[in-house]
Amino acid sequence: MKKILVAGAGGFIGGHLVKELIKKGHAVRAIDIKPLNEWYQVSEDADNYVLDLRLRENCHKAVNGCNEVFNFAADMGGMGFIENNKAACMITVLINTHLLIAARECGIDRYFYASSACVYNGDKQTDPDNPGLKESDAYPAMAEDGYGWEKLFSERMCRHFSEDFGLTTRVARFHNVYGPFGTFDGGREKAPAAICRKVIEAGITGKKDIVIWGDGLQTRSFMYIDDCIKGIQDIMYSNIKVPINLGSTEMVSINELVDIVEDIAGLKLQRKYDLDAPKGVRGRNSDNTLIRKYLNWEPSIPLRDGMKKTYDWIKEQIISEKDKKKIERFNK
């Protein structure tokens, strides 16, 4: 049994990993800046703390006494958030910097950093028919402004802490992760959750149309959370010393993603395209040559299956929220 710190444990991916590590019998210290009642999942068997990990002294407190660190803490969201909050995204650099310093001071055995496909050079993502981004496509560097540059810088800091101080670091570049217990409204949600929410709301209200950001022809691949959680652990305990893609290769256009959700909902909506909305790069897919070579595995949960589970969970949340409001009105 190990003592493991999960930073950003109140968020989507961190919350799922805490559950998995507890299930495996580890002692988990779970930390997030959000108040506990806002965490997506709270595992009672973990030591849960609310701390701002931008501060060096808090990182020391968080890391001290642990054997390993998984860092998911970031001020982030979907395109709507990262295009309009570049400074906030870049300030996240303080979290990884101070966690790495603390990891070195406290003699941590292994350190995992959650990077992103947003590190890739924008010039290699202009074609919707993207053949898949290879790890080397991050250079020459022209990452997503703000968020992507912070990720690229933090990746390199992990590399130099390994080279100069002997800290064992592992870095995965996630390509769009989706699933239950994540953000689906409020401005930080990503396309899969946002589309589920819009279709569910149309079903409830009888609205006949749906607004899509961009022209719907932009492409992405989406990885279901269970694949992500397996990949994170396999990469953490592997010998992979370079940043590596962790993503699905099932690339679809946003229109195709809407088709899937409509099919799950049994609805057909009129599409309205908002061409001025944030839309990100034109085409993005993961090249999985390296992960297949190292792990003899790659994410493979079909998009339709993962979207069904995500859709059902979001629907449950929206309906229970509506019921709560009805009860509140009734009690007034």
Is there binding between residue 224 and ligand NAD (CB under 6 A)? no
Q: How far is the CB of 17 from ligand NAD (least distance, A)?
A: 9
Lookup: tokens for 259: 């088709």
Residue number, 226 or 267, with CB nearest to ligand NAD: 226
Instruction: Give the residue, chosen from 85, 116, 130, 154, that forms a contact with ligand NAD under the rule CB under 6 A.
Output: 116
The DSSP bridge partners found for residue 49 are 31
Per-residue x/- track, 154-183, ligand NAD (CB under 6 A): --------------------x-xx-----x
Active-site residue set: 147
CB of 10 to ligand NAD, least distance (A): 4
Which of 2, 54, 60, 86 contacts ligand NAD by CB under 6 A? 54
Q: Does 52 bind ligand NAD (CB under 6 A)?
A: yes
Beta strands in 43-166 (DSSP E): 47-50, 68-71, 110-116
CA neighbor of 182 nearest in space, from 172, 192, 174? 192
- CB distance 170 to 111 below 8 Å: yes
What is the Cα–Cα distance from 148 to 134, expressed in whole angstroms? 16
Of 30-38, 204-212, 230-238, 259-267: span binding ligand NAD (CB under 6 A) = 30-38
Q: Which residues pair with 273 in a beta bridge?
A: 212
CA distance 323 to 172: 40
Question: Which span sits near ligand NAD by CB under 6 A: 69-77, 152-160, 284-292, 311-319?
Answer: 69-77
Burial of 143 (0-12, 13-18, 19+ CB in 10 A): buried
**Helix (H/G/I), strand (E/B), else coil: 331:** helix
Q: Which residues bind ligand NAD (CB under 6 A)?
A: 8, 10-14, 32-34, 52-54, 72-76, 95, 114, 116, 174, 176-177, 183, 190
